[in-house]
Amino acid sequence: MNAFITALTRLGDPLAQHVLLSAAALALGTAFALPLAVWASRSRNVARIALGFASLVQTVPALALLALFFPLLLALRSVFGPSLPTLGFLPALLALALYALLPVLRNAVTALTNLDPGILEAADGVGMTAWQKLRLVEAPLAAPFIMAGLRTAAVWTIGAATLATTIGQTSLGDPIFAGLQTQNWALVLAGCFASAALALIADGLLGLVEWGFRKRRRLAVFLGLALAAIGIIGAGISTRDGSRDVVVIGSKNFSEQFTLARLIGQRLENAGYAVQYREGLGSAVIHGALTSGAIDVYVDYAGTIWANEMQRGETPPRAQMIDEIRQWEADNSGTLMLGALGFENAYAFAMKEDRAEVLRVASLTDLAASAPSLAVGGDVEFFERPEWRAVQKAYGLRFADQRKYTATFMYDALTGGEADVIAAFSSDGRIAADRLRVLTDPKGALPAYDALLLITPSRAEDARFVDALKPLIGAIDVETMREANYAVDREVDKKSPREAAQWLAEQID
């Protein structure tokens, strides 16, 4: 309970950002939906196309819709120039505004097309122009229905805005995603509670406005709008801070990344930089975020860059791979690959010790024989990755079943027997803690996964910045990283990523 309260009190900034993002998305969605609704109410074809499009958008999962704006905005840079942001507020705003479109549009079109024809005839009959008719008759009579749509949109938008975290926009999703990865349930609960409370408050205020429109009580309309405006303005004021040179540190969505981001952050703060974190970025967008300058620094893994960014298939010796990556990053975008941190976080196939003993499996070669009767578990992206195809091909692996889990739940699935073998991560503390057997890779099908520190092109020449991070190169061995990871992931005496980073820093010095 105390942890929950503490977590809640730390939600000031995510909450304010969440309010601003949701309000802006609602405003944009509504500003777009209302004129479209007027047009649609006058043309059956426009109505069909507009409502069809809005419904189609609704069928796209919010997470995917948010992610899709990254490549879209990246492509639009050829038109608007390289300063167009591809991550953070802008794509989140656009995706959520699209999401808010449908309920407002549908209610407005329905209300406008179902107005009493007698009233519309009277409006024409008394000599109203089209604009007067819209302003004096159609808009006020449709207003309560439009407000009802806006309420639905507000609740959806506030809920979906938690997902903006995945594309680098701070929101109440930050504690939720961070908490899910580190199994810090108080953090998850605090994020969910805050976002639900915000949705209820927004719904209540807009409900008051709707009631005011319906009962023609101007005071209620004014009061509801004024309270909402105060909340939004308050959020706006609280997020304004001085424009110091702010460094944005990116991380993917697992404990090791959170901890390393904090470690980097602490060093940069000591060097005098103001630091922000963009946590929980997807693997697909984080590299682009760095090269485009949306984030300044993050840690990625050699094999990931090799396969995903460089599109290379073969697996050379690790030193050669790292050199080629350094060269490729410099040539391709000017990104500085500062060096390897000293440990690897490779995909490693792991089984429970007793089960491996029974099946007599010690290597991937052994596994191929038993595989047709076994279930394999992986993180959500593993089975789409080239590494999986490489391993399958090298050893002829065919499993009875493939199951996807978030990284955290994958280990529970293995200990619980839902999966017989998992594609674990070599730096994960739970391998040792759960006494798992890591299968050897005699054919060398899995590439090297050295953790590499990457710095955005615009910071590559910044000596103070680079010097602050240089001591991290070669400073973290795999045992140390495992211990730090386990401290964050375990159930008892759990540490926060920040505390783990502190501990790591002490080991380095």
Partner 1 sequence: MADPHIPFLHFDNVGKRYGETIAVKSVALSITPGSFVALVGASGSGKSTLLKMVNRLIEPSQGQIALEGMDVSAMAPARLRRRLGYVFQGIGLFPHFTIAENIGIGPRLEKSRLSAARIEELLELVALDPAMASRMPAELSGGQRQRVGVARALAGEPHGLLMDEPFGALDPVTRDALGEKVRELHRQLKLTTIMVTHDMAEALLLADRVLVMDQGQIVADTTPRQLLAGDGGDVAQALVAVPRAQARALADLTP
**Which residue among 124, 323, 353, 461 contacts partner 1 (CB under 8 A)?**
124
Residue 71: count of CB within 10 angstroms of its CB:
14
Q: Compute φ and ψ for 262, nearest 5 degrees.
A: -65, -40
- Rounded distance between C-alpha atoms, residue 351 and residue 423, angstroms: 9
- Rounded distance between C-alpha atoms, residue 212 and residue 125, angstroms: 29
What's the min distance (Å) between Cβ of 129 and partner 1? 5
Q: Which is nearer to partner 1, 74 or 134 (CB)?
A: 134
Q: Which is nearer to partner 1, 215 or 435 (CB)?
A: 215
CB 188 within 8 A of CB 7: no
**Which residue among 118, 240, 416, 492 contacts partner 1 (CB under 8 A)?**
118
Q: Which is nearer to partner 1, 110 or 392 (CB)?
A: 110
Mapped to the 3 state alphabet, what secondary structure does 136-171 carry? HHHHHHHHHHHHHHHHHHHHHHHHHHHHHHHHCCCC
Write the CB contacts of 343 (distance below 8 Å, at least 6 apart in sequence).
Answer: 427, 450, 451, 476, 477, 478, 480, 481
Q: Which is nearer to partner 1, 55 or 132 (CB)?
A: 132
Helix (H) / strand (E) element for 423: namely strand 421-425
**Which residue among 11, 51, 66, 137 contacts partner 1 (CB under 8 A)?**
137
- Rounded distance between C-alpha atoms, residue 209 and residue 225, angstroms: 7
Site string for partner 1, 187-226 (x = CB under 8 A): -----------------------------x----------
458 interacts with partner 1 by CB under 8 A: no
134 interacts with partner 1 by CB under 8 A: no
What's the min distance (Å) between Cβ of 173 and partner 1? 41
CB 482 within 8 A of CB 432: yes
Sheet holding 246-250, edge to edge: 274-278, 246-250, 297-301, 450-455, 336-344
What's the min distance (Å) between Cβ of 123 and partner 1? 8
Q: What is the Cβ-side half-sphere exposure of residue 309, based on CA atoms within 13 angstroms?
A: 24
Stretch touching partner 1 by CB under 8 A, among 18-26, 132-140, 159-167, 359-367:
132-140
402 interacts with partner 1 by CB under 8 A: no
Distances (CA, A) of 223 to 148, 208, 211, 217: 17, 8, 11, 10
Q: Which residue has the tokens 């089960």?
A: 355
Stretch touching partner 1 by CB under 8 A, among 128-136, 176-184, 445-453, 494-502:
128-136
What's the min distance (Å) between Cβ of 218 and partner 1? 12
Helix (H) / strand (E) element for 290: namely helix 283-291
**Which residue among 27, 34, 84, 128 contacts partner 1 (CB under 8 A)?**
128
- The one-letter code for the residue type at 509 is D
What's the min distance (Å) between Cβ of 120 and partner 1? 8
132 interacts with partner 1 by CB under 8 A: yes
What's the min distance (Å) between Cβ of 142 and partner 1? 11
61 interacts with partner 1 by CB under 8 A: no
135 interacts with partner 1 by CB under 8 A: no
Q: Which is nearer to partner 1, 86 or 107 (CB)?
A: 107
Give the tokens for residue 231. Answer: 């909340």
Q: Which is nearer to partner 1, 6 or 129 (CB)?
A: 129
What's the min distance (Å) between Cβ of 107 and partner 1? 18
- Rounded distance between C-alpha atoms, residue 435 and residue 320, angstroms: 33
- Rounded distance between C-alpha atoms, residue 336 and residue 334, angstroms: 6
Q: Which is nearer to partner 1, 121 or 241 (CB)?
A: 121
**Which residue among 25, 65, 105, 123 contacts partner 1 (CB under 8 A)?**
123
Secondary structure of residue 289 in the 3-state scheme: helix
126 interacts with partner 1 by CB under 8 A: yes
Helix (H) / strand (E) element for 215: namely helix 185-215
What's the min distance (Å) between Cβ of 116 and partner 1? 8
140 interacts with partner 1 by CB under 8 A: yes
119 interacts with partner 1 by CB under 8 A: yes
Q: Which is nearer to partner 1, 218 or 464 (CB)?
A: 218
Secondary structure of residue 59 in the 3-state scheme: helix
**Which residue among 1, 79, 81, 116 contacts partner 1 (CB under 8 A)?**
116
Secondary structure of residue 40 in the 3-state scheme: helix
**Which residue among 42, 55, 61, 121 contacts partner 1 (CB under 8 A)?**
121
Applying CB under 8 A, which residues contact partner 1? 116-129, 132, 136-137, 140-141, 216
